[in-house]
Every structure is written in C-alpha cells, then in structure tokens.
C-alpha cells in the first residue's frame, strides 16, 4: 500500500466513527482525564456546561466530517462563545490567545481522530495478514521538527511491538507524523537498512515521568482503547468533580453507562458471594441525583462527590448476617441488580447519623440501602488501589414499612 499523506481535508468513515462514539465530558482542565481516556470522551478545557460542550462538539464534528479548515472552525467557535456567554477560557482576550486556543482544539481533535481511524484500518485482521508491520513517518514539511520524531522516521516494527503503545502518532501538540503499513518483503528491506530497532532509551521515562519526544498526555495510541469500558474512565472522573457537576454529567451520560455499570456490579457481587472473602474490590453502583444533592445541602450536608461505590467487604458482611433484630438482609438477587434498584429507589436522610438511605418496596417490607457520605478509605478499582473520599454503600436490609416511610428518623429527599 502506498503512503497516505497526513491531511485533514480528506476525512474517512473510520475517523468520523471514532469521533462520534465519544461522550461529551465537562472538564476544567485539558489533563482532567489521562491518555487513553480521550478515546471515549470529548472534552474542551473549561467547558463545563452541557449545551456549550454540545455546540463545541458539533463544530468539531462538522470540521472532521466536511474536512473544514481552521478558519471555518474559528468562525464557529467565535459564534458559540458569544451564544453561550462563555468567559474565563484560556486564550480569551487577545487575538493571539484566541488563535492559539482554536488551533489547539481543532488540530488536536483532527489529528487524534485521524490517527484513531488509521489505527482501526491498520488493525483489521485481514489487513494485518498482508501488512503485519508498521512504519513511522515524520512530516518533512514541518517548519520546526522535533529531533526525536525525525530520528524515528522510517523506523519499521511489528504491529504488536510495545513501541506503538506509546509512540503511535500524534506524539505532541502540532505533531503531523503518521504510520504506514508494511509487508513482510518491505520489512526485510528495512531490516537490511538497519531500520528495525528503536533508538536506545526510547522507553526510559525521565524525572517528569515523560518518555523522550512524547508530550504530556500523548503517550498512548489513539483508538487502541476504544473497547475499554466507559465506566473505567467515567468513575475516575466522577471522583474528582464537585458533586453537583458530577451529578449533572452523569445525567447526560447515563444511557451509555448504565449497562456497563450493571455488568460490573453483577460481576463484583457474584465473585464476592462465591468467595465470601473480601479482596478489596469496588464498583461504581450509583450516582446521586442533582436534586438529592441540593436537598442534602439545604440540611447542611455537602457531598464532596456524587459517585456511590459498592465494596466487596461491606457486601460480604451483609450476606453473612442473614437476619438480626432490625430485619433481614437483602436477597442476593437485589444486590446483583443494585444499579437498577437504586435508580428507582426513594432517597432519605437518616437524621441520626447523617447518612443517605435509599428505600424501595419489597414483598415483605421495605428494602433499605445505607450510603455513608464523604467517607475516606482505600479501595481497589479495576486492579488499582487508591485512597478515595467518596460515598460507599455501608449496609442493606429489609425492614418494616413504618420504620422508613413513616419513621421520624428519616426525612424524604427530592430525587
């Protein structure tokens, strides 16, 4: 296959498909999400409102789909800013600043979507049988080339080489490098020319944690993580957002997230119930509704974040205590479907200990799930252990109707 020159004016279906599967994600900073998370989320630093982000996303979509240039995007950007009265964004106030900011948004989205589309083409199983090697190509027309990128020009490696996990271009702001497919015969020629070994130190991170020649946030292959669960990315983001903002974000993303959340929680429950020994695992089980957060704030309880987690430790404890003086535990079937259960439950404030309680009707009473608010502890999510200040399911059970619905201890909240 001949080289395909890097160009934004010739969009293709894989490029557009990649961009359109992204979800709009409110964000204060460009690095609020890391590396491969950009495969699943569209962000513009400082764009926190859903309607503003949707219009910006539409402008980028039009630029990709129609091959529109930077000047056309700048006109769209200016109109969107005026429409929403958006202020405080980086670059605002000067002609040079606005020119820089619009170029960053346009060029980054064009480059990463192009690269992701190419990645999908290059990794097609049938295509890989013909072209199992990839060649790094540096854009010779760049006015100020990066010397590391120049040194990688014509480097030819198997498609599965670790180099591509971090060095598949673009590899920085304004990088125009690209990758071309190579046959076994062409690889043999590159081998004879000494072009099949990465330069020494290519995978050695410096004091800042960055790889040589790779700008912060660019050490991943665009499109390679498109099949990773959205909840992996969104749950990490939710923890960092103020509760009202996180709750609003979840409301818009809920249709895309709900099935993945249910699968993750069901798996956690099944594994915990079979082992009956905690492994420190947790799954995102619920996101508190904006009106519930506001109702708690009116009662001087300020939630730090909107996410609610189910940990195997508390789950196993609840499953072991099948019945006590306060009632029976929740059936395993309810724990397995807890995402859907909490979605339809009524939120209450437990005035005795400032906990959030969700109540739902059961055949023999009322199901109750108690959530500890703003609780700091260590959890393991997707294999990574970290300390979180968040909201955790503490326990669950079945109690008498009057204990919840008519009890003085509980105050019903908006949902």
Which mean pLDDT values do the consecutive 10-residue runs of the chain (415 residues) have? 45 86 76 68 83 92 91 96 93 93 92 91 92 93 85 96 94 91 96 95 88 90 75 66 76 77 91 90 91 93 91 90 62 94 94 91 89 76 61 89 80 90
Query: For residues 330 and 318, what is the distance between their CA atoms, to the nearest angstrom?
Result: 8
Omega cis (within 30) before 182 = no
**CB–CB of 349/292 below 8 Å?**
no
Which residue, 129, 134, 190, is CA-closest to 160?
Answer: 134
Threshold 0.75, pTM exceeds: no
**In the prediction, which pLDDT does 325 show?**
45
**In the prediction, which pLDDT does 386 show?**
60
**CB–CB of 77/24 below 8 Å?**
no
Query: For residues 237 and 27, what is the distance between their CA atoms, to the nearest angstrom?
Result: 9
**In the prediction, which pLDDT does 353 show?**
84
**In the prediction, which pLDDT does 388 show?**
60
Q: Buried b vs exposed e over 86-115: b needs ≥16 C-beta within 10 Å? A: beeeebeeeeeebeebbbbbbbbbbbbbbb
Q: How far is CA 171 from CA 159, 164, 227, 355, 371, in A?
A: 17, 11, 22, 47, 43
Longest dimension (CA), the chain: 83
**In the prediction, which pLDDT does 1 show?**
38
Q: Where along the chain do its domains lie?
A: 13-192, 230-412
The DSSP call for residue 205 is: -
Kindly state the helix (H) or strand (E) to which residue 80 belongs, with its residue range: helix 70-84
Helix (H, G, I), strand (E, B) or coil at 181: strand
Angle at 158 between CA 154 and CA 162, to 5 degrees: 95
Helix (H, G, I), strand (E, B) or coil at 250: helix
**In the prediction, which pLDDT does 273 show?**
92
**In the prediction, which pLDDT does 324 show?**
46
What is the CB-side half-sphere exposure of residue 362 using CA atoms within 13 A? 23
């Amino acid at each position: 296959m001949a080289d395909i020159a890097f160009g934004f004016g010739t969009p293709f279906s894989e490029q557009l498909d990649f961009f359109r599967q992204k979800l709009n994600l409110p964000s204060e900073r460009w690095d609020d999400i890391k590396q491969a998370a950009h495969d699943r989320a569209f962000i513009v630093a400082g764009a926190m409102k859903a309607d503003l982000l949707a219009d910006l996303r539409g402008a980028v979509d039009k630029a990709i789909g129609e091959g529109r240039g930077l000047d056309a995007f700048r006109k769209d950007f200016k109109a969107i800013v005026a429409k929403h009265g958006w202020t405080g964004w980086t670059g605002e106030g000067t002609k040079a600043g606005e020119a820089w900011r619009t170029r960053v948004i346009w060029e980054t989205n064009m480059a990463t979507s192009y690269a992701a589309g190419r990645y999908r083409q290059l990794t097609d199983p049938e295509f890989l049988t013909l072209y199992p090697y990839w060649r790094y190509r540096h854009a010779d027309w760049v006015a100020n080339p990066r010397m590391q990128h120049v040194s990688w020009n014509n480097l030819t490696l198997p498609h599965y080489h670790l180099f591509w996990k971090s060095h598949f271009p673009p590899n920085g702001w304004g990088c125009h490098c690209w990758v071309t497919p190579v046959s076994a015969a062409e690889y043999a020629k590159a081998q004879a020319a000494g072009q099949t070994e990465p330069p020494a130190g290519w995978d050695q991170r410096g004091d800042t944690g960055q790889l040589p020649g790779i700008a912060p946030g660019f050490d991943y292959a665009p499109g390679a993580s498109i099949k990773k669960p959205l909840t992996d990315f969104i749950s990490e983001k939710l923890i960092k957002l103020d509760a009202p903002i996180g709750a609003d974000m979840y409301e818009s993303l809920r249709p895309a997230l709900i099935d993945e959340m249910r699968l993750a929680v069901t798996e956690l429950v099944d594994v915990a119930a079979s082992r009956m020994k905690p492994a420190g695992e947790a799954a995102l089980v619920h996101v508190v509704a904006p009106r519930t957060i506001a109702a708690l704030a009116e009662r001087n309880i300020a939630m730090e974040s909107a996410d609610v987690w189910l940990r195997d430790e508390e789950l196993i404890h609840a499953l072991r205590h099948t019945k006590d003086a306060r009632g029976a535990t929740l059936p395993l079937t309810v724990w397995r479907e807890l995402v859907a259960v909490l979605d339809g439950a009524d939120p209450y404030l437990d005035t005795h200990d400032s906990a959030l309680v969700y109540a739902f009707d059961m055949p023999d009473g009322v199901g109750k799930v108690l959530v500890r608010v703003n609780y700091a502890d260590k959890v393991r999510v997707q294999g990574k252990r970290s300390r979180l200040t968040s909201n955790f399911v503490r326990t669950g059970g079945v109690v008498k109707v009057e204990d919840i619905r008519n009890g003085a201890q509980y105050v019903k909240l908006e949902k």
